[in-house]
Each structure stands twice: as structure tokens, then as C-alpha cells.
Amino acid sequence: MAKKPSLKSALAGRKVHEQKIQAKEAKEQRISDAQAAAEKRAKLKAKKTMPFEADDSILLVGEGNFSFTLGLLNQHVFIDKSNQILATSFDSETTCYEKYPDASAIVSAIRAHGVPVLFSVDATDLEATSEIKSRPGGWTRVVFNFPHLGTGEKDQARNVQLNQVMLAKFLRSVAPFLSKGPSRIPVVEPGHGKGKVKAKKVKEKDEDELEGVSDFEELGEGEEGDEAYAIPVEKASWKVQKGTVLVTLRDAVPYTLWDLPRLLTKPKPLPPLHMIPPSQRPPPNTTLPATQPQYRILRSFAFHPTLYPGYSHRRTIGFKEGLSASANEEIEDRGGGRTWEAEVVEESLNKKPTGTDEEEARERKERVEKRREELREEKDKKKSRRGNGYKDHRPKWSAPGQGDEGWQT
């Protein structure tokens, strides 16, 4: 006759059975959560963000064959496009047409819209272009698509550094020419949301929460206790809104190594004037900020070429039939593109400016003299204490053979 299991073993078996059921349910829940997250990502990826409005004043820098500008004009309606849009290229007109055979026809089509096109415009020195400086009220959108020096540098670390410097110079150069006013996408402080709209805090590496949301739509309800990016429904005129920069890069190595979010939000301080070669110093009457400006990232979103019919990505070095990729293969086959939109933190523009060589030398000398005086005072205090019967109670060391060895007190 089989032995009847004890109560203890029966309870243990039941516990194991319950644990298996719980583990199975937990696994099913994880699978369900993963599927829901994947569906959400797919839905966000399918949405397309159009960052421009009919009343925007748009400055485009670093254009290649100008197909982005033409696609923008053909697809979207502007109030007065001839006075709202300015397209520029770093290349001279002759060089541009040599590098990009289709550029001449595209530029003619843009000018037929009444939109001005400028050549030989350096995005890192916008101060030098009067048409950019003279814009009343500044620019509400400054666009720099797929910037790259195109130097052919083989060392990746060196290449990354050179392009980071180029972007930093652009961010400094453009700051004075962005329009002033309230932000289009203001951050709502915790507890100040509408109803339950304390919404989600969008992190630098997860701004896709805003993908596909028009600049003037509400985000909807978020989870209780979280922060929010609230987007105003009512649209103000471009003249009273804060301008933003939109920089688009490929979403793949080595472009991700440029670390654009850090360049925007945590800029390195500029060296003092006495450390900058005279040939590289800004002119005395420049409108450039005295320090590298800091930006606040509003959002990032996938770049969709289909929003700009006829857009064809071109490399900085130019296009050669049969050798270069046609249309947008280079960005679509390599992770696509990502656009970062950011605005200047005004406080960063009001920092104390870097002084002249003489001022820097004088300040440095004053700091050294002050430190020397502090050291002299400390030395005098020590002498004074010893002269007043001060006894040094610090432990002393007796060398071997000189009495008791070791520390003495």
C-alpha cells in the first residue's frame, strides 16, 4: 500500500504549483507589455511631424541642391513666402551647380516662387550676411539639414571633433538672429497642468512622445504626478514667438557620436580672448553672444523626406551619376534621419563677457596677489601661536635605537 503524503509535502507541492502559475502569468504580462510598447513605437514612427506653420519666417542654411527648399514651397502654404523664406548655401553659385547638376533648375524654380536664394553664406558666421541680420523681429525657424564638413578626414575621432566644433559655431552664430517671445512649446512646472495634465516628462533621448503632434495641439492626459510639455492651442504671430533651430542628422554612427543633445544643452565655455589667436577673434562690434549659448531641447522627431515632395538628399562633397546614391537612399538605408528642435536659454546670453588681454592679465594678477596675501596671513598666525606658548601636541616618531620605538604622544 502506497504511503500517504504528509501534510507538509502536500503544502510544499501546492506552493510550487502556485509559483509556476505566477511565473507563467508574469511571463505572459511581460510579453503583452512588450507587444504594446512595440505597437506604440510603430505608431509613433508612422506619424510624421511637420514643424513649420504658415506664418513662420524660415532661414535655411547649408542647403545642397536646394531640393528641400523647393519641396517645402511646393507642399505647404505660406502667408507671404517671398518675405518669409530665405534659402542659403555655403558654396558659391558656380561651385554649387558643379557639385549638384540638378541645382540650377531647382534654384530657378525657387526664384519663380519669389523666394530669394543666397550663395557663399557661412552658417558659422551668419553675422557676415546682411540679409540675415536685417530680418525684422528675427527668424522663427532656422533649419540646418544634415550638416557635414565633408573634409574626408579618415580618423573618426578627429572627424567627430571637427564636426562638433562646426555645430557649436553655428549654434553660437545663429543665437542673436532668432526671434524673441514666448516659447511655442513651454514647459509646464509640476502641479501647474490642466486637470490631470501633469503629463509625461520628455527626456532628451525619448522625445518621440511628441512625434506627430502639431505645434498647436494638446498632448492629452498624462499619468498623475508626472511633468508635462504643454503645447498651446492658440497660435500667436511669429513676431512675438521665440525662434528655434532645427538640426537634422542621420540617426546612425558616426553622426550619433557628435552628441548633438549635449552640444545644445551643455555647451563648453569659450576660452578667454587672450587664448584665442587674433585672427579667430570676433570683431569688436559683433552681435555674437559673449559665451557659448545654452539651448533647451523642445523635442526630436523622425525626419520624413516624403513631407517635402522632390527632396533628394545630397552629400557635402557633391553628386556623381552612377557613383552617388540617388534620391534618399543614403539616409533611408542607414537608420533614417532625426531632427532636433531647440530654443536658446536667454540667461546664457547674459553672462559676463570675456575681457580683453589687459583685463584678463590684470584679473589673473589680482587673484595671484590675493592668494599670496592669504598664505602670508596663515604663516603669521602660526608664528603668533607658537610665540604665545603654543605646544605642538601632534604625535612624534622615535627612530629605532632612540628610546621607545613607534609613535609617541
The model's pLDDT over 173-182, given as tens digits with 9 standing for 90+, comes to: 999 999 999 8
pLDDT of amino acid 254: 87
Give the model's confidence band at 343: pLDDT under 50 very low, under 70 low, under 90 confident, else very high: very high
pLDDT of amino acid 140: 95
Could you give the 3-state DSSP secondary structure of residue 160?
A: helix
pLDDT of amino acid 394: 57
Residue pLDDT, tens place only, 3-47: 666 777 777 888 888 888 999 999 888 888 888 887 776 666 667
The radius of gyration of the chain from alpha carbons, rounded to an integer in Å, stands at 31
pLDDT of amino acid 141: 96
At 248, which helix (H) or strand (E)? Answer: strand 244-250
pLDDT at 393 over 70: no
Cis peptide bond upstream of 254, omega within 30:
yes
Strand partners, 103: none
pLDDT of amino acid 147: 93
Locate 214 and state its grid cell: 502639431
Identify the CA nearest to 48 among candidates 76, 78, 85.
76
Which of these ranges, 11-20, 50-59, 60-69, has the smallest mean pLDDT? 11-20
For residues 273-295, give the mean pLDDT: 64
pLDDT at 125 over 70: yes
For residues 122-136, give the mean pLDDT: 92
pLDDT of amino acid 55: 92
DSSP of 104-152: HHHHHHHHHTT--EE-S--TT-GGG-HHHHT-TT-BSEEEEES------
Identify the CA nearest to 78 among candidates 59, 52, 116, 106.
52
Q: Which residue has the higher pLDDT, 65 or 275?
A: 65
pLDDT at 338 over 50: yes
pLDDT of amino acid 98: 92
Q: Which residue has the higher pLDDT, 257 or 268?
A: 257
Separation of CA 25 from chain center: 42
Residues in contact with 201: Cβ distance below 8 Å, sequence separation at least 6, in sequence order = 226, 227, 228, 229
149 vs 85: CA distance, rounded Å = 24
User: Side chain identity at 399, as an amino acid letter?
Assistant: A
The DSSP bridge pattern shows strands 141-145 and 187-188 to be unpaired
pLDDT at 385 over 90: no
The DSSP bridge pattern shows strands 58-61 and 187-188 to be unpaired
pLDDT at 346 over 60: yes
Separation of CA 363 from chain center: 34
Strand partners, 35: none
pLDDT at 279 over 70: no
Which of these ranges, 42-46, 124-128, 401-405, has the smallest mean pLDDT? 401-405
Residue with cell string 513651454: 186
Q: Average model confidence (pLDDT) for the chain? A: 76
Percent over 70 (pLDDT), the chain: 65
Residue with cell string 584678463: 360
pLDDT of amino acid 224: 31
37 vs 179: CA distance, rounded Å = 38
Residue with cell string 492629452: 220
Give the model's confidence band at 344: pLDDT under 50 very low, under 70 low, under 90 confident, else very high: very high
pLDDT at 380 over 70: yes
At 37, which helix (H) or strand (E)? Answer: helix 7-46
For residue 263, report the phi and psi dihedrals to the nearest 5 degrees.
-60, -35
Locate 392 and state its grid cell: 605642538
Which of these ranges, 21-30, 121-130, 398-407, has the smallest mean pLDDT? 398-407
pLDDT of amino acid 399: 52
Residue with cell string 507563467: 24
pLDDT of amino acid 390: 57
Which of these ranges, 133-142, 247-256, 268-277, 337-346, has the smallest mean pLDDT? 268-277
Which of these ranges, 26-30, 324-328, 365-369, 389-393, has the smallest mean pLDDT? 324-328
At 300, which helix (H) or strand (E)? Answer: strand 295-303
Residues in contact with 283: Cβ distance below 8 Å, sequence separation at least 6, in sequence order = none
For residue 311, report the phi and psi dihedrals to the nearest 5 degrees.
-65, 135
Residues in contact with 301: Cβ distance below 8 Å, sequence separation at least 6, in sequence order = 49, 51, 207, 208, 210, 211, 212, 338, 339, 341
pLDDT of amino acid 288: 62
Residues in contact with 305: Cβ distance below 8 Å, sequence separation at least 6, in sequence order = 311, 313, 328, 331, 332
Which of these ranges, 13-27, 79-93, 211-225, has the smallest mean pLDDT? 211-225
Give the model's confidence band at 199: pLDDT under 50 very low, under 70 low, under 90 confident, else very high: very low
